[in-house]
Structure 1
Amino acid sequence: MAITPFKELEIGRQSQSICGRLLRKWQAKSFHQNGKIFSLDFLLLDQQSTLIQVTIPQYRAYRFRDDLHEEKVYNISEFQVDASYGKYKLTDHLHVIKFLDGTIINPIKETSPPIPNEMFRFRQYNELWTLAGTNHHLPDVVGELTKIQGSNLEDLSCDEKITLYLLLADGKNVRVMVWDACALEFRKLYATIVGKATILIITAVNPKSYGEIVKRR
């Protein structure tokens, strides 16, 4: 079966086959149901550097979870294509892919030309300000870490909120608030970056505006 570029995917359950690199994988949780896990999601990138989100319902995720690994390349077929979600978008694609009971995944070594190892959707301050409070897109940010606020920063078991201050390339300052699993991960990094000039990449932030500061959640 011929490989379909992500840009050419059609809505429905037509016989379509794709090839892409798995960039990031996570469990999607419901904030309205005490963190209940409702799907396994990941981002997939193809040879044309097009990014698309893939979702697997929780009741189906156990069948695929152990076969999907970040940075690996896969051929995938027998899936469904739906319109993308109206909120909390992690890509600019108009569609999302949903796994079915009969979805087939096959790991491959590489492609020619190779698929990039990473892709980000960086946004500057003015773009973040436009998105603030809309819950529409969850972009990525990169900036110099200028200040850290939080308690128990050296306690690797603590998931209390941490506030990070970033200086963006356009000279604007933003606050990034992280907690739970993200706060745990940052505390693991803390000992290696404290007192050093550090550039941070933070993915999937939810811009919120407070006066002249754009806050991330």
Structure 2
Amino acid sequence: MFFKDVKFGPQEGELRFRLIHFWEARNTLTKRLNNFYGSKSKSVYRVAEPDVTIAFTWNYVLSVLENSPVPFPEDRFRFYGYEEFEAACDLGGDLYDYAGHVKLVNEQALSDSLVLDEVEIASSRRILVNVQTHDGPVMKLYIWDKAAAVFCEKFKALGKPPTVILVTTVNPKRFGGALSLSSLSSSRVFFDMDVQATREYLDWFESNTEVANRVNAEIVTKAETATIGELLSYMKQEGAKVAWFECTATIDDIVRDSAWYYIACGGCKTKATKVPTTLMCKKCGKTEIVGAAE
């Protein structure tokens, strides 16, 4: 059966395919699938064009396809550029892939002495990579959770900072007013020589270093500490340009009359329900809980 022949509902045919995107998948192998279900593709966070999604049923059979008479091509990617990501930002639409050359890793310039702070990465569960595609703008690429752990593993195995990075199924979002790309649970990370697409980009980079290094990412993303007073003074300047600032603050107090303030279950943090003599939690099912201010 071909993908174009899959209809809505249970299917008993056999699909032979190369697995590219699969939530929680760890290995991309050529597979054979029996017993599956055709469901309508979601309008948000799509990774392919067809209207029908292949869903696994309770009795599905997924096995490795060996000695296939049909040749399968290497992984195929759907790349987007800055303008296209800008147009799709925060719309929750299709998820596309992104490739470019690395400018900064966690705000550190690339060098042979660059070392990742794995303790900090494990705590924050993310890595921030500033990436530029050809001679386009430098973009912030946030790599989260499992993809961040894979980034660290591949970084150490490579023995030096990567020149080219490719991340699949990224979601364009706006953080602090600036366009950024964010990985999802299905995202995979590739470096310099991992796949054909990164090898081709690396060839371009080595032949066009002048163009590739035209933008200094350290200037674009330079971190500076400023007080609220200094920001106000900047805003009052007649020639002030539009600028974005990332603010870090410590919660000093919670205004109890604010709509954001509520008493939560001390266990699951769900908003507690008041009863005549105590508090209860509908989520935990407990009729008496210890409340906590949130």
Give a deviation string over 1:166-198, Cα, whole Å, max 9, x none: 111352221101232222222233346686561
**Change in CA separation of 1:118 and 1:170 when aligned onto 2, cut-off 3 Å:** same
Moved more, 114-123 or 148-157: 148-157
> What SS does the corresponding residue of 2:19 show, helix, strand or coil?
strand
Structure 2 residue 139 is the aligned partner of structure 1 residue 182: no
The one of 137, 152, 162 aligned to 2:94: 137
**Change in CA separation of 1:78 and 1:204 when aligned onto 2, cut-off 3 Å:** same
Give a deviation string over 1:3-59, Cα, whole Å, max 9, x none: x111221111143321112234443xxxxxxxxxxxxxx5xxxxxxxxxxxxxxxxx
CA distance in 1, matches of 2:10, 2:84: 35
CA distance in 2, matches of 1:107, 1:149: 39
Identify the residue that residue 39 of structure 1 maps to in structure 2.
none
Query: Aligned ranges for residues 136-215 of structure 1 at < 5 Å?
Result: 136-149=93-106, 153-155=116-118, 158-159=121-122, 160=124, 161-169=126-134, 171-191=136-156, 196=161, 198-209=163-174, 213-215=178-180
Query: Aligned ranges for residues 46-195 of structure 1 at < 5 Å?
Result: 70-149=27-106, 153-155=116-118, 158-159=121-122, 160=124, 161-169=126-134, 171-191=136-156
One-letter amino acid matched to 1:80: Y
Deviation at residue 110 of structure 1 after TM alignment: 3.8
Provide structure 1 residue ranges, at least 5 long, that are not aligned to the other structure.
28-41, 43-68
**Whose relative contact order is higher, 1 or 2, with alpha carbons under 8 Å and at least 6 apart?**
1
> What SS does the corresponding residue of 1:206 show, helix, strand or coil?
strand
Give a deviation string over 1:137-156, Cα, whole Å, max 9, x none: 22110000011226982426
> What SS does the corresponding residue of 2:140 show, helix, strand or coil?
strand
Decide whether the 8 Å contact of 1:144 with 1:199 is kept in 2: yes
CA distance in 1, matches of 2:119, 2:69: 42
Provide structure 2 residue ranges, at least 5 long, that are not aligned to the other structure.
109-114, 183-294
Moved more, 187-196 or 9-18: 187-196
Q: Looking at CA atoms only, which structure, 1 or 2, has the larger radius of gyration?
A: 2
Identify the residue that residue 6 of structure 2 maps to in structure 1.
9
CA distance in 2, matches of 1:208, 1:6: 31
CA distance in 1, matches of 2:71, 2:146: 32
One-letter amino acid matched to 1:177: Y
Decide whether the 8 Å contact of 2:155 with 2:161 is kept in 1: no
Higher helix share: 2
Higher strand share: 1
| Number of positions where the alignment pairs a residue of Structure 1 with one of Structure 2 | 174
- Using the size of structure 1 for normalisation, the TM-score is 0.68
Decide whether the 8 Å contact of 2:37 with 2:57 is kept in 1: yes
> What SS does the corresponding residue of 2:32 show, helix, strand or coil?
strand
Deviation at residue 119 of structure 1 after TM alignment: 1.4
**Change in CA separation of 1:157 and 1:109 when aligned onto 2, cut-off 3 Å:** farther
- Using the size of structure 2 for normalisation, the TM-score is 0.52
Identity %: 21
